[in-house]
Amino acid sequence: MRRMINLMALAAIFAVFAVPALAQTKECNDEFKSATYSKWYDNRTKDQAVAYQAAKEYLATCTAEDQYSTALKKFVTLYEAATADVNNKKQFEEAFQKKNYADQIRLGKVILATEPDNAAVNIIMGLAGLGDPNLLNESAQYAKKAIQLIEAGKPFAPLTSKDQALAYLNYVLAKSTLKSSPTDAIPYFLKAARLESDLKKNPQLYLELANAYAEGPQAKLTEEYNAKVGPDKTETPESKLVLANLNQVIDRQIDALARATALADAANKKTFMDELTKLYKYRNNSEAGVNELVASVLSKPLPDVPTPITSLPTPTTPTNPGSQSSTGSTTTATGTTKVGNTGSGAAGGGGTGSTANKTGGTAKPTATPTPGKKPRAQHRRG
């Protein structure tokens, strides 16, 4: 019985304390309005968190429009937007540190909605595709924007230098373009390789450059060559002109493979060398000079996309009866080779000699080996 009395007394005590709590509901009267508005006004610059709570309390209690509500609503909207922006940037920074590339893209879009020229955010989003290939195409649009901002003088952080940032961003554009348009990817690969960054020593870049040449201009010119040769694959003036251009492209491909081989680690070097030797021998009818090419290629400038040859030189009159006249010239990465002559020494300047072949003995482009799938040094953005 006594226990029951104690429980009833305890319940009564709780009831006593509950009554004031229920009575705490605010009433929208002049006293409340004046006090709450003053609390907001006095703190709106020095302590915005307190001002925000006062504004929210006022608007929740006084729901009808009055002389104060417009200013308070505007403050609440701006405060919540600013708070959300701070939170988004904090989460974006965390995604960057943790290499969560999908979240970098997702949160970056929110930040760029109000800060489209934020260089750091555009750079990070632009590089996300290197960490996650599934994001490569989407990442490329931010890489383009980041390049524009950096070239206009915006900061290149979080990268260590302007060249480092531009190299990686151009690499993103090259990789994103490679599948859909290999030819268009080549200038981006060249830009990435020529800038002073650690990409310059990455064999993966040069393997992809070689593949871009093979799958782009080489494939196109090979098809064109096959359409212009005569019956039984006899050369025609038109096919010789195409072959001159094709040889230029193969020389560029050889140069890129040589650079990849020179930079390859021990696990991949033999595989790369085998691919290079195969193409080099096809182009030059000999393996002589390929080792010298690999040893010296990194000391030479990376050759540009070849300028198309539009006409062949007029054949010269033989000085001796029965001598073989040249059929024309092809500008290679470092010199000139005769059309129909795949024995001109090392493509890209690595050879030490030449052997002249007759036009009819030219190896046909349809047999040109294309670099196959090879072990690749997987790039990871740090």
Residue 352 lies inside a defined structural domain of this protein: yes
Q: Are residues 78 and 218 in the same domain?
A: no
Domain count, the chain: 2
Q: Are residues 220 and 358 in the same domain?
A: yes
Residue 65 is part of which domain span?
31-161
Q: Are residues 359 and 290 in the same domain?
A: yes
Q: How far is it, in rounded angstroms, from Cα 294 to Cα 347?
A: 11
Q: Are residues 221 and 354 in the same domain?
A: yes
Q: pLDDT at position 223, please?
A: 96
Q: Are residues 209 and 353 in the same domain?
A: yes
Residues of the chain with pLDDT under 50: 1-23, 321-382
Picking from 141, 111, 114, 113, the residue whose alpha carbon sits closest to that of residue 126 is 141
Q: pLDDT at position 75, please?
A: 87
pTM of the shown model? 0.69
Q: How far is it, in rounded angstroms, from Cα 340 to Cα 360?
A: 8
Q: Are residues 242 and 352 in the same domain?
A: yes
Q: Are residues 149 and 255 in the same domain?
A: no
Residue finishing a domain among 129, 161, 193: 161
Q: Are residues 334 and 244 in the same domain?
A: yes
**Max alpha carbon distance in the chain (Å)?**
138
pLDDT tens digit sequence for 333-347: 333 333 333 333 333
Q: Are residues 206 and 288 in the same domain?
A: yes
Helices (runs of H) and strands (runs of E) counted in the chain: 14, 2
Residue 143 lies inside a defined structural domain of this protein: yes
Picking from 238, 211, 212, the residue whose alpha carbon sits closest to that of residue 225 is 238
- Residue 303 neighbours by CB distance under 10 Å: 17
Report residue 86 CA to chain centroid gap: 28
Q: pLDDT at position 317, please?
A: 60
Q: Are residues 53 and 150 in the same domain?
A: yes
Q: pLDDT at position 25, please?
A: 65
Q: pLDDT at position 313, please?
A: 83
pLDDT tens digit sequence for 258-268: 999 999 999 99
Q: How far is it, in rounded angstroms, from Cα 348 to Cα 178?
A: 23
In single-letter form, the type of residue at position 313 comes to P
Residue finishing a domain among 111, 137, 161: 161
Residue 96 lies inside a defined structural domain of this protein: yes
Query: What is the SS3 assignment for 261?
Result: helix
Q: Which residues pair with 331 in a beta bridge?
A: 336
Residue 306 lies inside a defined structural domain of this protein: yes
Residue 353 lies inside a defined structural domain of this protein: yes
Q: pLDDT at position 251, please?
A: 98
Q: Are residues 217 and 122 in the same domain?
A: no
Residue 250 lies inside a defined structural domain of this protein: yes
Q: Are residues 94 and 232 in the same domain?
A: no
Q: pLDDT at position 86, please?
A: 85
Residue 185 lies inside a defined structural domain of this protein: no
Residue 248 lies inside a defined structural domain of this protein: yes
